[in-house]
A and B are shown apart, each in its own frame.
Chain A
Amino acid sequence: MTGDMLINYALGILFFPLISFIILIFVGKRLPRQGDVVGIGTIILTLILSLAMFGSMLLSHDPGFRHEASFTWIDLGDFEIRLGFLIDNITIIMLLVVSLISTMTHIFSTKYMEGDIRYSRYYAYLGLFTFSMNGIVLANNLVSLYIFWELVGVSSYLLIGHWFEKDSAADASKKAFLTNRVGDIGFFIGLMLVFTALGTFNYAEVFEGVAKGAISGTLLTFAGIGLFMGAVGKSSQFPLHIWLPDAMEGPTPVSALMHAATMVAAGVYLSVRLFPLFTPEALLFIAYTGGFTAIFAATIAITQNDIKKVLAYSTISQLGYMILAVGTGAYVAGFFHLVTHAMFKACLFYGSGSVIHAMHHALHNLKDHDTDPQDMRNMGGFKSKMPITYWTMLVATLAISGVPLFSGFLSKDAILAGTLSFASHHPQHFLLPVFGFSAALITAFYMFRLIFMTFHNQPKLPNVYSDIHESPKPMVFPLILLSSLSVFIFYTLPYFNPLSDHGWFMELIKAKDSMVPGSPSAHDIAEGMHHSHTLTMILSILVASLGILLSWAVYIKNSVSADNWSKRLDLYYNLSLNKYYFDENYNKYLYQPFLRLANRVSYIDWDLYDKYFINGFGHITKWLSSVTGRIDYDGLDQTIVDGLGRSMGKAGSSLKEIQTGRLQNYMLFALFGVIIIIIFQSF
């Protein structure tokens, strides 16, 4: 397929969902079936186009393939911004993932969201979400990336707040948007740093500039960390992870879409795309952020009882893995995990959606509105009632736990190998593989805990249990498809070795060298990974089996009592159950003080500054004018002006005494006058 055709395909992939959004938002309600067919139709078109691109990529089998097209968005002479598409193998794979998961979500939702009051609006937002994510994937420059980045934020805001009548949903949507914006500040600062130094936003040109050393050292590190902050927000890394669990307030299919392919994947995608400009220091920061998030979220997931919350924290943890991979230089492994994770995590979410759907119906029939349909403590034994859901979820769980034969094993293995090799070169960073392996252990444990609590054992609520049914076909189909895509073979073709990630994926996605002078080359990193491969494999199989075994011992055999342990580790248990009190502390030490500060500022502005200072000018002027008024009236007018008159009057009245009316007096005066004149004359 030629480049231009690819661009046309890409345009179609980008804009079909947007068209669906526009149609549905304006006339959705008037269309048959509230217009969901429009949404599904366009997304299937998108999927077909993505498949076509994917097929052509496989056929041409060119790891170095890249094609760009741009247009001038702003041109002010010297200042110019060109937006455009970059299509290479990463883009094509990512487009397929997004389209596929989005299609599944559309299909799954036809049943899951049936009868919702804002059904067509929901489909419209799904279209917008897909559009924005594809925009991120296709961007060839930081500005496009930022634009779609924010649009993803808005779409998630709209979808998380879909049931806005619930205060918790409204809060969650706002929290998601604002937490993301915190990261976006960093992103924007990084973007400005890069642009100021290099004068371009285009990836390729930026990398070229970095390679030339036009931006280097601390500045580049800060730019890298700034850009990465965007990923921290979107991919929900510590300490901005707080929004993702709350985002579960949205409809479950949206959670699947968001956790697997769109929103949170964007952060990892950004880190993968921008990998060549990260300095070793920035990468170290990234690695520690990712590694810590992986273990941190896993320790929370272990005690959660809400089925979706467990999955949410597992997503955070898995994203931590991907970020860790980028940080250790094995960014292709990170991207690989992004793809495999998309499949099994979406499957898990649809599975949980299916369970919740069933619970919901059962509770609805019992007219029970108090029991939480998402609490795993109310489930148990669903295996026989929902066999398809069970088996598909089991496959996905095996994949996420890193069991051989499944895709998660391959990608996780690659990441851990990268980490291990990194640590062997830099022994002082031994914590990174420790994070990685222990998170793998805990992941295996809590994922099987989820399976066991939901599907095995005796039902906790027998009356509900009796009313549980398998979900309808549109909900089961995505489960089957995605769980099959969690099998290793789809990623290793044309080879069949379940223990090696060698296959089309690794052949088509070749790691690029970092552009920062002095960084280890892609070849060295691959070499290191290769060396630590065997050790990693043994270790990771070991920790996975250990985790599963522990889980089995606790939740099936009951040979270890979870309750006893939780009592014994009371302090830790409470910390974990309450998510380390992050929300509470943020609320107490950040939001509330800030709101108080805002109130104070406003008070200063309005009640002090304006009332006393600005109006003070008015008061002073008024006071001054009253003073001058008094001076004017009492002083000037009354004393001087009128005083002159009065003194004249007084003088007149005393002088008039000499006017006697007697002519002879006048004569006498005249005489005196003459005499005086004469006297003066004579001198």
Chain B
Amino acid sequence: MDNLQTYLYISAILFSLGLYGVITRRNGIAVLMGVELILNSANINFVAFARFGGMNFSGQVFALFVIIMAAAEAAVALAIIINVFNNLDTVNIDDARELKL
């Protein structure tokens, strides 16, 4: 259990789950949660490579950055979703198609 592979597998599963959530969920909140999963799978990778790759603490530092970024991102994304909800009375992202020309 003490090798890189295991962590990478976990991270890949987590990423896939996140991706699946992002692509398939109609609920904006759920999509956001998928994004969090993806970010965290990346964090696992950073830390795992830092631990097994002999790279001082850069991995950990990046993981911290990502967590902060994720927090910021969640704040902004939730604000958007609230706005969407205010405007469209739904958080279903299929209905938010203003990007289409």
Question: Do any CB atoms of chain A lie under 8 A from CB atoms of chain B in the complex?
Answer: yes
Contacts of B101 in A (CB 8 A): 656, 659
In the complex, how many angstroms separate the beta carbon of B38 from the nearest chain A beta carbon? Answer: 11
- Which B29-71 residues have a C-beta within 8 angstroms of A? 31
Contacts of B93 in A (CB 8 A): 662-664
B19 within 8 A of A: yes
B91 within 8 A of A: no
A667 within 8 A of B: yes
Is the Cβ of B23 less than 8 Å from the Cβ of A659?
Answer: no
B1 within 8 A of A: no
Task: Please encode chain A, from 642 to 683, with 1 for each CB lying within 8 Å of some chain B CB and 0 for all others.
Answer: 000000000000001001111110011001000000000000
Q: A662-B94, A667-B19, A667-B23 are known contacts; what are 20 more A-B pairs with Cβ within 8 Å?
A: A656-B101, A659-B101, A660-B97, A661-B97, A661-B98, A661-B99, A661-B100, A662-B93, A662-B97, A663-B93, A663-B99, A664-B22, A664-B23, A664-B24, A664-B31, A664-B93, A667-B22, A668-B23, A671-B19, A671-B23
Is the Cβ of A660 less than 8 Å from the Cβ of B100?
Answer: yes
Residue of B nearest to A656 (CB): B101
Contacts of A661 in B (CB 8 A): 97-100
In the complex, how many angstroms separate the beta carbon of A657 from the nearest chain B beta carbon? Answer: 11
Task: Please encode chain B, from 6 to 33, with 1 for each CB lying within 8 Å of some chain A CB and 0 for all others.
Answer: 0000000000000100111000000100
In the complex, how many angstroms separate the beta carbon of A665 from the nearest chain B beta carbon? Answer: 9
Interface centre among B19, B24, B99, B101 (most CB of A within 10 A): B99
Residue of A nearest to B94 (CB): A662
In the complex, how many angstroms separate the beta carbon of A248 from the nearest chain B beta carbon? Answer: 109
25 CB-based A-B contacts, threshold 8 Å: A656-B101, A659-B100, A659-B101, A660-B97, A660-B100, A661-B97, A661-B98, A661-B99, A661-B100, A662-B93, A662-B94, A662-B97, A663-B93, A663-B99, A664-B22, A664-B23, A664-B24, A664-B31, A664-B93, A667-B19, A667-B22, A667-B23, A668-B23, A671-B19, A671-B23
Closest 9 CB pairs of A and B: A661-B100, A661-B97, A661-B99, A664-B23, A667-B23, A668-B23, A667-B22, A659-B100, A662-B94
Contacts of A663 in B (CB 8 A): 93, 99
A569 to B100, CA, bound (A): 124
In the complex, how many angstroms separate the beta carbon of B19 from the nearest chain A beta carbon? Answer: 7
Contacts of B19 in A (CB 8 A): 667, 671
Chain A interface, number of residues (Cβ within 8 angstroms): 10
Interface centre among B23, B93, B98 (most CB of A within 10 A): B23
A671 to B23, CA, bound (A): 10
A656 to B97, CA, bound (A): 14
Contacts of A656 in B (CB 8 A): 101
- Which A609-628 residues have a C-beta within 8 angstroms of B? none
In the complex, how many angstroms separate the beta carbon of B97 from the nearest chain A beta carbon? Answer: 4
Residue of A nearest to B28 (CB): A663
In the complex, how many angstroms separate the beta carbon of B35 from the nearest chain A beta carbon? Answer: 10
Contacts of B94 in A (CB 8 A): 662
In the complex, how many angstroms separate the beta carbon of A660 from the nearest chain B beta carbon? Answer: 6
In the complex, how many angstroms separate the beta carbon of B31 from the nearest chain A beta carbon? Answer: 8
Residue of A nearest to B97 (CB): A661
In the complex, how many angstroms separate the beta carbon of B88 from the nearest chain A beta carbon? Answer: 13
Contacts of A660 in B (CB 8 A): 97, 100
A667 to B97, CA, bound (A): 15
Contacts of B98 in A (CB 8 A): 661
Contacts of B97 in A (CB 8 A): 660-662
Contacts of A667 in B (CB 8 A): 19, 22-23
A671 to B97, CA, bound (A): 20
A447 to B31, CA, bound (A): 146
A632 to B93, CA, bound (A): 52
In the complex, how many angstroms separate the beta carbon of B15 from the nearest chain A beta carbon? Answer: 11
Contacts of B24 in A (CB 8 A): 664
Residue of A nearest to B98 (CB): A661
Task: Please encode chain B, from 61 to 101, with 1 for each CB lying within 8 Å of some chain A CB and 0 for all others.
Answer: 00000000000000000000000000000000110011111
A247 to B97, CA, bound (A): 115
